[in-house]
Structure 1
């Protein structure tokens, strides 16, 4: 649950839970979580980047974590509106570095496509948009009416049952389960997730990624080779979507490489950020 360092903003898009760390005036790095887990999924990596001299913003998507879950359509416009309004209030000056996990990559790619002048770089960790693994229950939930009934009956169990696919390390799965369980039953959360997976391009975002790549936005892709949630796609498909992106694949690592290989991921991300800080709102110490 939120701690004393966390803050809230009443945005038009919805009340948003966020946290801001690191020195004021430094280059801004925004960590965007995925479809279900709140911003705690970035604990460790975000703290390391902040300690390295960057201004780090992390937040809960609307409908997730401690952010509000308004009765809206959870589509690209809704998430883009939240991120834009949050940046306008918290860090309005200069382009920012965007770091996103899975579903969050769809949000940051859309933001960069619409507002390229506000983006210094993009980092995608196991990005959605190349096809995601869905259990039979999740596929049924995507169907109108039937999906809503199933969600009400077994939604929490289905969401918790996915966690072992995130990592082969029991301690990581157990930590995720204990921290995620209170949010999995929060009012509006499951409805928001269902709306999101029905309306976001989780299976085919290649054209969106390619537009940013063609525009020359510096991009880094980090992936676990053993990812069972968003499996590493065929190399040709990845190349067509992101021909100029840097790619780092971590062997024997699952959906959260920053949790399983924290030092290696932090080193790779820090080097990428340092190489692309020109023109941002400052330079790290």
Structure 2
């Protein structure tokens, strides 16, 4: 049986996050409402815009946000996920999300140094956005757990194939049953157990609680199916050569989605990229090793 109390497990990063001022904002973009959280000093010289991964929301990157000082950090929920409503003027595919991110950043009217950060699926969205030469250019790019090769080529390609079947079945079933399957707590827990690498019981409980609370916070079946197809149909490698900005890749040695060898190859596809490898963690750097990730980001930006 899956415990219903895990979502109440205290965050190990709560105290650090509580020190940051935060403002909840929203913007009307492409026929939907994007809600975003603006952390830190609004007048800071450096602003990071953070894009979270598939089926998550802004909460997933808060452990990293909590470790970054002296910066402004703007973290939206992707359209159709978390508290953001779906787009009505674009599909929820890579092209649609790239259009959305360009519009979102432009609408912020940022000054000073601007950095785009994407985690997992967000790394594809950020890369696709910047591959357009007409996009507003940031000063630097950070990709955490970047999807560096096609998902089916990963060390657990069989799990990706199972995921493809799972989402196909969710699309084939009647609306109510398909929606229920997508939010099935047992399947969410299996996913969480498969990705977590930490041996710390308290941290594992908290990670499972985060997935219980936020992994099913999507608006409807159509959005999540469109986004899933996008997540397995594209990867950062197809856009890397068209991103001239200084880029930091923060990769996990034990990532089951993109192996570290592929991340090393990915670094060579960018005109100007640095790779930081973090050991003892898989695809959940943002939950298990946020201090190490933040340190890499700060050193890169310094």
2:249 to 208, 221, 237: 221
Number of the residue aligned with 2:4 = none
CA distance in structure 1 between the partners assigned to 2:233 and 2:112 by the alignment: 29
* Structure 1: distance between partners of 2:165 and 2:170: 7
Indicate the residue corresponding to 2:239 in structure 1.
Answer: 208
Q: Deviations over 1:207-238 (max 9, x none)?
A: 311221xx3x1011111111224433436642
Q: Compute the displacement of 1:257 (Å).
A: 2.2
**Equivalent position SS for 1:154:** helix
Residues 188, 212 of structure 2: 8 Å contact kept: no
Deviation at 1:188, TM superposition (A): 2.7
| 1:37 equivalent in alignment to 2:56 | yes
2:262 to 189, 209, 234: 234
Q: How many Å separate the matches in 2 of 1:12 and 1:39?
A: 20
Structure 2 unaligned blocks of 5 or more: 1-6, 8-17, 152-156
Q: What corresponds to 2:209 in structure 1? A: 178
For 1:85, the equivalent position in structure 2 comes to 103
- 1:196 equivalent to 2:213? Answer no
**TM, length-normalised to structure 1:** 0.80
Q: Distance in 2 between matches of 1:21 and 1:235?
A: 30
Whether 1:53 aligns to 2:70 is yes
1:281: which partner in 2? none
- The CA distance in 1 between the partners of 2:172 and 2:138, in whole Å, is 37
* Length-normalised TM-score, structure 2: 0.76
Task: Please state whether the residue corresponding to 1:69 is helix, strand or coil.
Answer: coil
Which deviates further from its counterpart, 106-115 or 164-173? Answer: 164-173
Unmatched 5+ residue regions in structure 1?
275-285
Q: Deviations over 1:63-96 (max 9, x none)?
A: 1111113566211232123222322333444562
From 189, 197, 210, the counterpart of 1:168: 197
- CA root-mean-square deviation: 2.9
Identify if the C-alpha distance between structure 1 residues 260 and 178 changes in structure 2 by more than 3 Å, giving closer, same or farther: closer
Instruction: Assess if the C-alpha contact under 8 Å between 1:103 and 1:128 holds in 2.
Output: yes
In structure 1, what is the Cα distance between the partners aligned to 2:294 and 2:103?
28
What CA distance in whole angstroms lies between the structure 2 residues aligned with 1:248 and 1:221? 6
**Distance in 2 between the 1:48 and 1:236 partners?**
26
1:137-159 Cα shifts (integer Å, max 9, x gaps): 3121454x774428435222334
Tell me which moved more, 13-22 or 110-119: 110-119
